Amino acid sequence: MPLARSLSVTSLSGLEEWDEEFDLEDAVLFEIAWEVANKVGGIYTVIQTKARLTAEEWGENYFLVGPYVESNVRTQVELIEPTDPVLKRTIDKMNSSGCKVYFGRWLIEGSPYVILIDVAFTAWSLDRWKSELWELCDIGVPWFDREANDAVLFGFLTAWLLGEVRNDIHTDPPPHIVAQFHEWLAGLGLVLCRHRQLPVATIFTTHATLLGRYLCAGNVDFYNNLAQFNVDKEAGDRQIYHRYCLERAAAHCAHVFTTVSQITAIEAEFLLKRKPDIVTPNGLNVKKFSAMHEFQNLHAQSKNRIQEFIRGHFYGHLDFNLDKCLFLFIAGRYEFSNKGADIFLEALARLNYLLRVNQSDVTVIAFFIMPARTNNFNVETLKGQAVRKQLWDTAQTVKERFGKKLYESLLVGQLPDVSKMLDKEDFTIMKRAIFATQRQCQPPVCTHNMLEDSSDPILNCVRRIGLFNSSADRVKIIFHPEFLSSTSPLLPMDYEEFVRGCHLGVFPSYYEPWGYTPAECTVMGIPSISTNLSGFGCFMEEHIADPSAYGIYILDRRFRGVDESCNQLTSFLFQFCKQSRRQRIIQRNRTERLSDLLDWRYLGRYYISARHMALAKAFPDTYVYVPHEPNSTSGFRYPRPASVPPSPALSRHSSPHHSEAEDNDEDERYDEDLEAEKDRVNIRQPYTTPFKNKSSAQYNCFVE
């Protein structure tokens, strides 16, 4: 039986293939977001990866609506004439009224239709629309907030678009329109649709609350004081009251309100004053390999490329064994406290002490991939890669000379005299190469020249804890303040390739509504550390009986103080360092199996449920949505693996005592296919969520 998922808000339960598809012939879906064909943050990834599944479900009736950004359109969108006559008339009418609206296909998987609106072209209407917003909602937007001004323009234009589409439909009965709005930047369009009483089923999805992000950035005790915040005062103090009002209005006006995780649902209930109707976790398009060893091979190939970079970066100080070197990384927006970089650095300092005291031969190299303001690559870093290449070229030259002499000796039928195979010139070349590797300074911590070096949080923390990549330290730090690129002269790898080559992703975030970085690690078979304050961490903790056995370590940052959490993180890292190579391979196999949990093929059904609920609320005479009442028997949890556990301390009961002999024990029984089959069998079939269409035959979309 294949892994299957369902629509329960509290658990992922099993789903067979649907007996009947929901009839979408009389429904049209518009999905509106500022990040349609416009990469700003994580919402872009959500929409881009989900597009294929949604396009397959809705076909020609699915349209994404976003802003027109010329630089993005040139590389991502194929502009075409609208295929639908109603939409063509609508766009022509708006363009003749002083707008610029474009239609095309977004060149991603699924090739969905996109409607792109040039908000700057209609800036002449900004003051008039701001006045209308004030009269309708008592929300005033200051002139200096450009992002909020864009939100006003985008909101009025999307409401105009939807209104024109609805008014231009003359079929009887007309198709039902579903409009899903993502985040506060698109939320005003929803508010206007409801105020104008457009017959549109509306959904508002918040991926993170505005106020929550600002409060956490201010180092407040956020989660323990959610019920005590004076939200109006807090938003006003941070000069985002108008943005907060737009977000809160959208949440309250929507037929259906959704968030991306349980932790964000709690946050939204207190800050936006409405409990979400459905939690819609974020997924990914998971590529499954035909054989388990394929992704392990990719890990080995990418690891070798990282090792090449390390050889250059640490030239002159390469006094550690690269085969016993573990690569850890943290990546994302440069939010020092929110993303947990502060606690990660402190844990690395404590880990360094433990490794030195225990005389471990393991070396840990921690990468910080967080974009910051720089003016160029560090000269010393570039020099390291040049020295490495020079050494490689020297070795190749000597090898060719050696090989030629060996060849000539064998041709005449003589065994070579090894003492004469290398002459003085060869030794001179090699000595010059060795002298070139001498270095008077420590390997740099930062790969770039920082514009604000003296005030940079990561660098200041490194100075405080004293991890300067010295030979005595078992933990080394490399701060790469730029997103990775395969065209970089320093570390020519894209992000996916880099992640595959690492051993562990560390994401001890304090504020993380979902967390795509650990999810990406999981689908690539790389273990990760997350927290119980991130959406991903809560999701995994709920659906896996023993997350650490599957390479998902959940750090407690909700019920522990900072020092306790730091000690727990240090313990996770130290135990990971004590694993044998074989244990890490087994753990990666288990981690990769969890990728089914994060596949849009399953998680996309939460979005389906939200759209069905919105249709039922907006058009009660046509649709009925019967909510699922969770019970104690519904859902499933991945069981704890029965065989060799990955951690010598965290999974002790069934773990063989670690020894070098056991690393080479070929008789030790471990069947990966059998373990995978046990995981699949342990999924229970749940109660299902029925949805009915009154206007035609009765549809049970979710069946056992």
CA-wise closest residue to 522 among 561, 551, 542, 501: 551
Q: Does 273 lie in the same domain as 357?
A: no
The answer to whether residue 336 sits within a structural domain is yes
Q: How much is the pLDDT for 439?
A: 83
Tokens of 461: 């923390």
Which of residues 441, 461, 478 is at a domain's end? 441
Distance (Å, whole) CA 103 – CA 91: 8
Strand partners, 448: 377
Per-residue CA distances from 268 to 259, 272, 273, 449, 616 (Å): 8, 5, 7, 40, 23
The answer to whether residue 675 sits within a structural domain is no
The answer to whether residue 106 sits within a structural domain is yes
Specify the length of the chain in residues.
704
SS3 545: coil
Neighbours of 590 (CB within 10 A): 23
Q: Does 124 lie in the same domain as 197?
A: yes
Return the CATH number at 213: 3.40.50.2000
Tokens of 14: 């099993």
CA-wise closest residue to 32 among 206, 163, 189: 189
Distance (Å, whole) CA 137 – CA 128: 14
Q: Does 128 lie in the same domain as 80?
A: yes
The answer to whether residue 677 sits within a structural domain is no
CA-wise closest residue to 528 among 549, 510, 550, 551: 551
Q: Does 329 lie in the same domain as 231?
A: no
**Residue 575 lies in domain:** 293-378+444-597
Q: Does 538 lie in the same domain as 465?
A: yes
Q: How much is the pLDDT for 22?
A: 52
Q: Does 213 lie in the same domain as 82?
A: yes
Q: Which residues contact 518 (CB under 8 A, 6 or more apart)?
A: 505, 507, 528, 529, 530, 534, 536, 537, 552
The answer to whether residue 250 sits within a structural domain is yes
Per-residue CA distances from 273 to 12, 212, 232, 590 (Å): 26, 13, 12, 40
Distance (Å, whole) CA 371 – CA 396: 37
Q: How much is the pLDDT for 570?
A: 98
Q: How much is the pLDDT for 694?
A: 52
Task: Please list the ranges in the chain whose pLDDT falls under 70.
Answer: 1-25, 289-292, 627-638, 642-704
Token pair 């773990």: residue: 655
Q: How much is the pLDDT for 628?
A: 57
The answer to whether residue 4 sits within a structural domain is no
Distance (Å, whole) CA 13 – CA 685: 7
Tokens of 423: 């002459």
**Cα dihedral 575, 577, 580, 584 in deg (nearest 10):** 90
Instruction: Assign residue 102 a region (left: φ > 0; alpha: ψ between -120 and 50; beta: otherwise).
Output: beta
Q: Does 178 lie in the same domain as 256?
A: yes
Q: Does 316 lie in the same domain as 453?
A: yes
SS3 573: helix
In the chain, how many domains are there?
3
Q: Does 220 lie in the same domain as 132?
A: yes
DSSP-derived secondary structure letter, 185? H
HSE of 335, CA atoms in CB hemisphere, 13 A: 18
**Cα dihedral 218, 536, 506, 528 in deg (nearest 10):** 170
Q: Does 461 lie in the same domain as 554?
A: yes
Q: How much is the pLDDT for 563?
A: 96
pLDDT tens profile 66-118: 999 999 999 999 999 998 899 999 999 999 999 999 999 999 999 999 999 99
pTM of this structure: 0.84
CA-wise closest residue to 478 among 443, 453, 512: 443
Q: Does 132 lie in the same domain as 151?
A: yes
Q: How much is the pLDDT for 133?
A: 97
Burial of 379 per CB tally in 10 Å (0-12, 13-18, 19+)? exposed
The answer to whether residue 613 sits within a structural domain is no
Q: Are 384 and 368 contacting, i.e. CB atoms less than 8 angstroms apart?
A: no
Which of residues 578, 597, 616 is at a domain's end? 597
Which of residues 255, 279, 303 is at a domain's end? 279
Q: How much is the pLDDT for 673?
A: 67
Q: Does 262 lie in the same domain as 118?
A: yes
Tokens of 66: 């976003």
CA-wise closest residue to 289 among 676, 683, 614, 570: 676
Question: Do the strands 448-450 and 374-377 form a parallel or antiparallel pair, or are they unpaired?
Answer: antiparallel
Is-cis flag, bond preceding 2, omega within 30? no
The answer to whether residue 5 sits within a structural domain is no
